[in-house]
Structure 1
C-alpha cells in the first residue's frame, strides 16, 4: 500500500481531496518536507505531494536535498497532466511532486491514480 505524504500551503485541500476517494489502498499522511524526507529516503512505496503558490521551489523545499533533483518533479502551474508522462516519471524513480495550489484539482487525482495503478 503506497503512502503519500502531503505538505505545503495547500495540504488541507489535498488531504480533503484524497479522503473523498475513500480508497483503502492508500495511506495519506499530512506532514512537512522536513519530516517526510528522511522517511522517504529509507522507505520504498512512499511519495510526497507538496504545494505552494507557484509550484516551484517552496512546494518541494527540502525534498531536493533529501532525495536529489532526479527524484523530484514540479508540475508548477501546469493544468494538464498526461497519465503516460506521470508513469514515465514514476518509472524513472521520481517520488516527490510539487504543484501550485490552484492546480490541486487538476493534477492530484491523475497523479494518485497513476501511483495506485503501479
Structure 2
C-alpha cells in the first residue's frame, strides 16, 4: 500500500475522492494542511504529496519545495500547459515525491499520476 497526503490550496476533497476511487485498497489517502502534509513525507509517514492551486506551483508546492527540496518536487501543470502521460510517468520514475498541479487540471493529471505511482510501487 502507498500513502498519499494531499496539501495545496484547492480541490482537496475532489482530489481525495478521485485518488480513493482510482487506488482502491492500494492507496491510503490523507488530507492535511500544507505543512502537516510535507512533514508527513519528511517523517516517513507518507510516500507522496499532491497539491493543487491556481498556478500549479505556488500554493500547491511552496511548502514542499522549501522542506523537501527542488529535486523531490515537480509541477505537472500550469495555467497554460500540462505534462503528457509519458512526462508524468518519467517524473514519477525519476524519484519525484511531491507533485503540484492546477485545480482545473487535477482530474486529468491524476488520471496519469495515480496509475504511474501504483505501477512504480506495486507494479
For 2:45 and 2:89, the matched residues in 1 are separated by: 17
The aligned counterpart of 1:73 is 74
Paired residues, what number? 117
1:6 aligns with 2:15: no
1:32 aligns with 2:33: yes
- Provide, for residues 49-94 of structure 1, a one-character-per-residue CA deviation record: whole Å limited to 9, x for no partner: 1100121211112101111001000022334532x32232223221
For 1:90 and 1:20, the matched residues in 2 are separated by: 20
The aligned counterpart of 1:86 is 88
Q: Is the 8 A contact 2:23 2:114 kept in 1?
A: no
For 1:99 and 1:22, the matched residues in 2 are separated by: 19
The aligned counterpart of 2:106 is 104
For 1:86 and 1:80, the matched residues in 2 are separated by: 6
Runs (5+) with no aligned partner, structure 2? none
Q: Is the 8 A contact 1:81 1:106 kept in 2?
A: no
Runs (5+) with no aligned partner, structure 1? none
Q: 1:44 to 1:71 in 2, by over 3 A?
A: farther
The residue matched to 1:97 in structure 2 has which SS? strand
For 2:21 and 2:60, the matched residues in 1 are separated by: 23
The residue matched to 2:55 in structure 1 has which SS? coil
Q: 1:91 to 1:80 in 2, by over 3 A?
A: closer
- Which one is further off, 86-95 or 34-43? 86-95
The aligned counterpart of 2:48 is 47
